[in-house]
Structure 1
Amino acid sequence: MINTFEFQKVKTSKLPSVWCEDGALEELEKFLQSNWEQRGIFYSDKKVSSRQQFIDFDRRDGFKTQNYIGTITFRGEQLNIFPKIYKEDEADYNASELVIQDLIYDLIMWLGYCDKFHFPFVTMKGEMDNTETFLELLITVYVHYVKAAVNRQLFFRYEEVEEIGSMPKGKISFNDYAIRRYPAGQWNKLQYTYSNFVFDNLLNRIIKCTCRMLDGITTQINNRRIIHNILMKLGDVADVNCMPYDCDAVHLNALQANYSIILSMSKMFLLNKVSSQSMGVSETFCFLFPAELLFEGFISGFMRKAFSDRVKLSTQTRDLFLTELVVDGEVVGNRFQLKEDIVIQADDVIIVLDTKYKEIDRLDKIKEDSGRLGITDADMKQMAVYANRRGAKRMYLLYPLYRNTMPDKTEVVFNIIDGRGDAAVKIPLQILQVPFAFGDDVEKTKKLLYDILGKIVRHNKDYLSQ
């Protein structure tokens, strides 16, 4: 097992021996490519690249991880990619002592608040407290989805049935009769097709096949119990060895949306099984998430849950554009849409927050360095545009703290200058570091996060308008 961080090079000498065999890394990259193409099952990272971005293999000696955290199991060996906030400090690159269960627990907590991912963690969290591997976590998610779906309503669908007989129904194939039946002396036999409302359909066969596969993988007794119950309810469904491409033949309507993610996850499990060739899915598996999307979604979800009853809070707002397009004197529409992470309206005051999953210098070092803290020009200009277009009175850039560290007490504010001369207005942009990883004391971390974010939204006109 190898532990590493985001954006860290892993040398060939540190890789398991089976990964160093001829063609192994090429096979691993192909496997990751298959998972990259299926990542839309869980999230949309807005990346348009058709080539997988999980790991950079264009290295002479080994490869380099990217901004995706989680685990890759390949040929029975495991690579765990931890968030950079798990470092002791910026210069720390030793991940050997990290424990994968800590990351699994944090992931469950993050997804519990985040609505950017297709997971039912809020209702299932108690079931996953004892989950020890990412694969087991994913199995738990899947079997609970299937359990809820079959308990709500068993899936029936109309399927085309083709038969040959003397009492046809549906659509008759006259070509078949003229070419095959009549010349063969079967004058009273007709080939016909009709639609039948059946329980033994392709989707249920896919689910049954996937559940049987997972039954041989899961180590959790409760998962096995749920799987056995599902298999009993699908007893009248044929046992078929389904393949990933079978999932593409199933088409669901809007009323069957609850089965959509089940179908997608079934395809992912079947795809991992096929990609591993002779090895089972437990020996080859990929489970990765974009860290910046987790941070953004977690902070937004936490604030929505904690403060939406006090202030008007909206996330991922898209109601403003930067420009208006004019062609030959005619306005043809707006272009360059703005998308603020969080917009808060308290009384008549507008506050804009933007999350940045980046490492910055300690706030108490503001006078020792260039006075920029490592904040990029692009991020600062972006906030200036938000201030101008939104008419915000106060703004915040939120950065993650390293795990098990406390925020600096130094208050750092950049005044964005809007306008010129005496007409210029100063809009305060405060830099805040907030806890993201829960560390050793979950309740303490939650309280700290609540206190920091609570200062932003509290009903204090003097504070908000200063």
Structure 2
Amino acid sequence: MIRQVTVREYARLTTSVVESPSLDRATVTKSAFDYLCRLAGQFRAGGAQLLEVEGSQWLRLDNFVGIVETPCGTTLEILPKHHDADDCEESARMLLVRMIETALELPVRRAGSADLTLFRAPLSEWVRSQFLLALEHLVKRGMKSDFVRVEEEQRNLRGQLDMVRQLRQLPERGHYFHTRHDVYSLDFPENRLIKAALAVVASSTRNAANWRLSHELLHVLADVPASRMHAQDFKVWRGGRLMAHYAPILPWCQLVLGQRQPLAVQGTWHGISMLFPMEKLFERFVEASVRRLLPVSARLKRQAKERYLCQHNGAGFFRLEPDLLIEHGGERTVLDAKWKRLNASARIKKYGIAQSDFYQLFAYGHQYIAAEQEHKELVLIYPKTAAFDAPLPPFSFAPGMTLWVLPFELGAKVNEERLIVAPEMRLAQVVANAKRIDDRAST
């Protein structure tokens, strides 16, 4: 039985009947429940926490988002928890789609206004749809064929006679010829991988439009064998000018075949399953937005790895890796993104900020920012919510080092996301200068 279950981060799942199912509580089948428990064991062995088991009837998900397709036919879709209300399924799905596009730098093809309806379908159908649109575009442009050397034994002479093998031919098979010839064929690694991904999509899609298009494309690629060694074929995927029109479909093949996720679901079941740590998605989303704000003269580094917390026996000990490091005008600004909701009115509870986050930024500031730098700014970035919609008053680290806690507007549409900066920050002046330069260039 095929079943779609949509929840969000930290939701609780059970095999019992839930009276009022929501994005935070849902029912799954016993087989899906057991599969998730086994999957959690695989994640735990790899050092990641997928979920917590609460008794024999409840599971509590962690901060992973994405899709898991179980062998019993259940599709579990896990969305970001960026609103308090339960009626945010479509907006959460749209946000997750944009975050995945940004994090993986996916070349998304838009099919017009009808494309918006895909957000009402599961995330897995969006992946399938984007793969099919990319493949349809590739087929219209023309799939690349190549000459393939064929060596065979046949009754008729075709191509070049292999004299060495022919002289070794047994007398009773003297009427056969060992030949070599080239065949103009679609059978090479790129097309084999596309056929393998198309077979996965065609056999697993539950959307009528995707099913129809996938089977039409299967007829077009009927002569292409499917890849049986995905990892090896991906290694020899060719680039360059002659294969440039294949570049847009590569990341979608990797997604469908489970070769590109930060945490792909491995095992004997090969549906479209992919999970992403929400913290990492948010970090990449913030990075893309900040990069657009900065002037060309500024340099933005992700996960800088040049400093250590201390030295031990002449070597660095405990490497410090801030999420983002901005270098502009000879000065540095350290930024760190945290996927956690704050409450600006809960000062007595430290606004919900973890003390460890302040310790972390304190260490980053003393190691990455020079003591003689005039403006020493550290930035903690959290998602904007109704309870946290403006920068908090600055926190002072001695000597002369300031920590800012800023909200990040996730935005309802593409390119509407933005970092909300306090006017008195040096970072605000850098962004304002970049905007003035852009305005002059546009006029």
Q: Shared topology, TM-score over 0.5?
A: yes
Residue 432 of structure 1 aligns with which residue?
406
TM-score, length basis structure 2: 0.71
Which one-letter code corresponds to 1:458 in the other structure?
A: A
Corresponding position: 1:312 with 2:298: yes
1:161–1:196: 8 Å Cα contact kept in structure 2? yes
Corresponding position: 1:267 with 2:245: no
Residue 117 of structure 1 aligns with which residue?
104
Counterparts of residues 311-350 of structure 1 (less than 5 Å): 312-318=298-304, 320-322=306-308, 336-350=318-332
SS at match of 2:126: helix
Alpha-carbon separation, structure 2, partners of 1:410 and 1:267: 42
Corresponding position: 1:86 with 2:83: yes
SS at match of 2:324: strand
1:203–1:247: 8 Å Cα contact kept in structure 2? no
With over 3 angstroms needed to count, the CA separation of the structure-2 counterparts of 1:302 and 1:118, relative to structure 1, is: closer
Alpha-carbon separation, structure 1, partners of 2:17 and 2:211: 36
> 1:60-92: CA deviations, max 9, x gaps?
33322121123444434443433233335xxxx
Q: Which runs of 5+ in 2 are unaligned?
A: 19-25, 370-374, 432-443
Counterparts of residues 101-140 of structure 1 (less than 5 Å): 101-112=90-101, 114=102, 116-121=103-108, 128-131=115-118, 132=120, 133-140=122-129
Which one-letter code corresponds to 1:11 in the other structure?
A: T
Q: Shift of residue 301 of structure 1? A: 0.9
> 1:364-417: CA deviations, max 9, x gaps?
322x23xx4343343222212221222261111111234xx1535573322122
2:345–2:387: 8 Å Cα contact kept in structure 1? no
Counterparts of residues 54-73 of structure 1 (less than 5 Å): 54-56=50-52, 60-73=56-69
Q: Shift of residue 426 of structure 1? A: 2.4
1:5–1:81: 8 Å Cα contact kept in structure 2? yes
Q: Shift of residue 359 of structure 1? A: 3.6
Q: Which runs of 5+ in 1 are unaligned?
A: 37-47, 89-96, 418-424, 462-466
Residue 395 of structure 2 aligns with which residue?
414
With over 3 angstroms needed to count, the CA separation of the structure-2 counterparts of 1:409 and 1:336, relative to structure 1, is: closer
SS at match of 1:69: strand
Alignment equivalent of 1:219, drawn from 179, 201, 207: 207
TM-score, length basis structure 1: 0.68
1:69–1:291: 8 Å Cα contact kept in structure 2? yes
CA RMSD, Structure 1 to Structure 2 (Å) = 4.6
Which one-letter code corresponds to 2:362 in the other structure?
A: A
Residue 163 of structure 1 aligns with which residue?
152
With over 3 angstroms needed to count, the CA separation of the structure-2 counterparts of 1:287 and 1:124, relative to structure 1, is: farther
2:391–2:420: 8 Å Cα contact kept in structure 1? no
Residue 340 of structure 2 aligns with which residue?
358
Alpha-carbon separation, structure 1, partners of 2:27 and 2:430: 61
With over 3 angstroms needed to count, the CA separation of the structure-2 counterparts of 1:59 and 1:428, relative to structure 1, is: same
Alpha-carbon separation, structure 2, partners of 1:18 and 1:400: 30
Corresponding position: 1:141 with 2:109: no
Which one-letter code corresponds to 1:20 in the other structure?
A: K
Q: Shift of residue 29 of structure 1? A: 5.0
Residue 20 of structure 1 aligns with which residue?
30
SS at match of 1:7: coil
SS at match of 1:431: strand
Corresponding position: 1:386 with 2:364: yes
With over 3 angstroms needed to count, the CA separation of the structure-2 counterparts of 1:122 and 1:234, relative to structure 1, is: closer
SS at match of 2:379: strand
The number of equivalent residue pairs is 400
> 1:187-239: CA deviations, max 9, x gaps?
35455667755214465355346436645736364x5686577556546x24x
1:303–1:453: 8 Å Cα contact kept in structure 2? no
Alpha-carbon separation, structure 2, partners of 1:62 and 1:340: 36
Identical columns (%) = 16
Q: Shift of residue 148 of structure 1? A: 4.4
Residue 440 of structure 2 aligns with which residue?
none
1:211–1:231: 8 Å Cα contact kept in structure 2? yes
Alpha-carbon separation, structure 2, partners of 1:17 and 1:9: 9
2:14–2:33: 8 Å Cα contact kept in structure 1? no
Which one-letter code corresponds to 1:68 in the other structure?
A: F
With over 3 angstroms needed to count, the CA separation of the structure-2 counterparts of 1:196 and 1:122, relative to structure 1, is: closer
Work out which structure has the larger RCO, using CA pairs closer than 8 Å and 6 or more positions apart in sequence.
1
Alpha-carbon separation, structure 2, partners of 1:177 and 1:87: 80
Residue 41 of structure 1 aligns with which residue?
none
With over 3 angstroms needed to count, the CA separation of the structure-2 counterparts of 1:374 and 1:158, relative to structure 1, is: farther
Residue 252 of structure 1 aligns with which residue?
236
Alpha-carbon separation, structure 1, partners of 2:331 and 2:193: 53
Alpha-carbon separation, structure 2, partners of 1:374 and 1:31: 31
Alpha-carbon separation, structure 2, partners of 1:125 and 1:49: 44
With over 3 angstroms needed to count, the CA separation of the structure-2 counterparts of 1:218 and 1:454, relative to structure 1, is: farther
Alpha-carbon separation, structure 2, partners of 1:191 and 1:30: 53
Deviates more, 1:385-394 or 1:50-59: 50-59
Which one-letter code corresponds to 1:66 in the other structure?
A: D
Q: Shift of residue 324 of structure 1? A: 8.4
> 1:66-124: CA deviations, max 9, x gaps?
21123444434443433233335xxxxxxxx4453222211233345x2x314223867
With over 3 angstroms needed to count, the CA separation of the structure-2 counterparts of 1:206 and 1:458, relative to structure 1, is: closer
Alpha-carbon separation, structure 1, partners of 2:130 and 2:195: 16
Alpha-carbon separation, structure 2, partners of 1:61 and 1:343: 45
SS at match of 1:108: helix
1:157–1:199: 8 Å Cα contact kept in structure 2? yes
Q: Shift of residue 290 of structure 1? A: 1.9
2:309–2:320: 8 Å Cα contact kept in structure 1? no
1:177–1:191: 8 Å Cα contact kept in structure 2? no
Alpha-carbon separation, structure 2, partners of 1:395 and 1:415: 10
With over 3 angstroms needed to count, the CA separation of the structure-2 counterparts of 1:155 and 1:413, relative to structure 1, is: same
SS at match of 1:432: strand
Residue 92 of structure 1 aligns with which residue?
none
Alpha-carbon separation, structure 2, partners of 1:33 and 1:151: 45
Alignment equivalent of 1:401, drawn from 369, 384, 388: 384
SS at match of 2:174: coil
Which one-letter code corresponds to 1:428 in the other structure?
A: T
Alignment equivalent of 1:10, drawn from 10, 13, 20: 13
Which one-letter code corresponds to 1:387 in the other structure?
A: G
